[in-house]
Structure 1
Amino acid sequence: MQSKIRVVLLDDHPLVLEGLKRRLEQESDIEVPRTFSNPVELIEGIERCQPDVLVMDIAMPQMNGFELGQRLKEKYGHTLKIIVLSGYMYEEFYKKAYEIGVHAYLSKQSPYPQIINAIKQSMLGHALVAENIWRADLEKLTHMERNVLRRVAEEKTNKEIAAELSISQRTVEYHITSINQKLGVKTRIGAVAKGYEKGLLGSFWEGTDDS
């Protein structure tokens, strides 16, 4: 049985913490061992929690999120994924966060499904860049995502794709979600159409793309 994703939360607003914690724990594959109300408290207690993912605010007392993120990344590297939830949606903030190594920088107004998706995508190593920021990067699919998209275009089911690529059906679903987000679409059909439009699948008039 696959272990749950361990997520810790950091925010100085109790209502935000409680609401997000309650929603995340409705997910069968996520658990929230602890929440923190300030960065110093988190630094002192994070090792006991051994989280996979930290979801945190940027503007906090005692230490800002950029400084905290830098310290955590220097100590834990890729073993700790960081998702930022912020009310400051400025391009320079996005860039600074991604330079540190966060996996997603989202608005505090983001719906819960988007936050949950970012958490799960981070566990696959995907960095979700904010919409309208670095658009060219959004349209760059990983090698695995291209393989998944090619099979979606061949009208294969998630089960068939999982078998061919030796991954789980859940991982296929995560890849498809990432593909849709990067291409700015909401459906499999939309992803295929955009894939042809962007030259990711050759053209409708070509044969099988084996590149």
Structure 2
Amino acid sequence: MNESIRVILLDDHPLVLEGIHNRLQLEPDIEVVASYTDPLLLLEDMPQLQADVIIIDASMPHMTGFELSTKLKELESFSMKIIMLSGYMYNVLIQKAFQIGINAYISKQSPYEEILYTIRQVALGCNLLSPSRPTNPLKQEQLSAIEREVLRRIAEEKNNRQVAYELAISMRTVEHHIISINQKLGVKSRGSAVAKGYELGLLGPVS
């Protein structure tokens, strides 16, 4: 390959982003043309961006990597290859990624050599799965039935008042359930809870 592979990075963790950026810059055939921590800013800049590959974090504030990839695929001029990095390698997520048209779905725990290999192969037109992906979903810290119902409605972008009305409970009870959901899933926001819920298969197939 005579020309460098142009890469865009998106990860809401600055230290992770910097680490990947610095490592990729050491490769003579790879050029990082832009880095983002906010998917909304990337979408705003997309008409002016030119790259071969975009690497997207699966779990981010504002929107998930799945939602962003869907929006990118809907852009008429979008032709970049998409690599998604995720901490959760479950079949339902991998299947959804390829339904959307994502070109590779690999673990965040992958060594840099695997990431570099994936970038080069995807740039050549190949679709890849992580060779080390587990097949059994995590079973720890399951949500209760009512917590699942609350989470499902949050995923439908309903506010606390709407959730309380539909489940015939008080808003304070809804707030307590959301706190419990966040604690069990190890997150700090509604959006992150929804993303983690999909990643863990708690919300069923990603829609």
Relative CO higher for 1 or 2, CA cutoff 8 Å, sep ≥ 6? Answer: 2
Equivalent positions of 1:145-156 (< 5 A) are: none
Question: Could you tell me how far apart the structure 2 residues matched to 1:91 and 1:6 are?
Answer: 29
After superposition, the C-alpha distances for 1:90-109 in whole angstroms (9 at most, x for unaligned) are 11011000111111111101
Structure 2 match to 1:60: 60
* SS of equivalent to 1:18: helix
After superposition, the C-alpha distances for 1:34-60 in whole angstroms (9 at most, x for unaligned) are 100011011011332311100011110
Question: Could you tell me how far apart the structure 2 residues matched to 1:114 and 1:45 are?
Answer: 28
Structure 2 match to 1:26: 26
Report the alpha carbon displacement of residue 119 of structure 1 after superposing the two structures with TM. 0.7
Query: Structure 1 residues 109, 77: closer, same or farther in 2, change over 3 A?
Result: farther
Equivalent positions of 1:81-92 (< 5 A) are: 81-92=81-92
Superposition TM-score, scaled by structure 2 size: 0.61
Q: 2:89·2:134 contact (CA, 8 Å) conserved in 1?
A: no
Structure 2 match to 1:203: none
Structure 2 match to 1:111: 111
Superposition TM-score, scaled by structure 1 size: 0.59
Report the alpha carbon displacement of residue 78 of structure 1 after superposing the two structures with TM. 7.2
Equivalent positions of 1:32-71 (< 5 A) are: 32-71=32-71
Q: 1:73·1:80 contact (CA, 8 Å) conserved in 2?
A: no
Structure 2 match to 1:79: 79
Does residue 2 (structure 1) correspond to residue 2 (structure 2)? The answer is yes
Query: Structure 1 residues 123, 77: closer, same or farther in 2, change over 3 A?
Result: farther
Q: 2:90·2:134 contact (CA, 8 Å) conserved in 1?
A: no
Question: Could you tell me how far apart the structure 2 residues matched to 1:128 and 1:106 are?
Answer: 8
Report the alpha carbon displacement of residue 2 of structure 1 after superposing the two structures with TM. 2.2
RMSD: 2.0
Count of paired positions = 134
Question: Could you tell me how far apart the structure 2 residues matched to 1:65 and 1:14 are?
Answer: 16
Q: 1:84·1:104 contact (CA, 8 Å) conserved in 2?
A: yes
After superposition, the C-alpha distances for 1:55-82 in whole angstroms (9 at most, x for unaligned) are 0111101111111101112225772100
User: Which consecutive unaligned segments of at least 5 residues does structure 1 have?
Assistant: 135-211
For residue 82 of structure 1, what is the amino acid of its counterpart? Answer: I
After superposition, the C-alpha distances for 1:111-167 in whole angstroms (9 at most, x for unaligned) are 111011111101111001233689xxxxxxxxxxxxxxxxxxxxxxxxxxxxxxxxx
Q: Runs of 4 or more off by more than 6 Å in structure 1?
A: none
Aligned-residue sequence identity (percent) comes to: 49
After superposition, the C-alpha distances for 1:160-192 in whole angstroms (9 at most, x for unaligned) are xxxxxxxxxxxxxxxxxxxxxxxxxxxxxxxxx
Query: Structure 1 residues 105, 76: closer, same or farther in 2, change over 3 A?
Result: farther
Q: 1:54·1:83 contact (CA, 8 Å) conserved in 2?
A: yes
Equivalent positions of 1:140-179 (< 5 A) are: none
* SS of equivalent to 1:33: strand
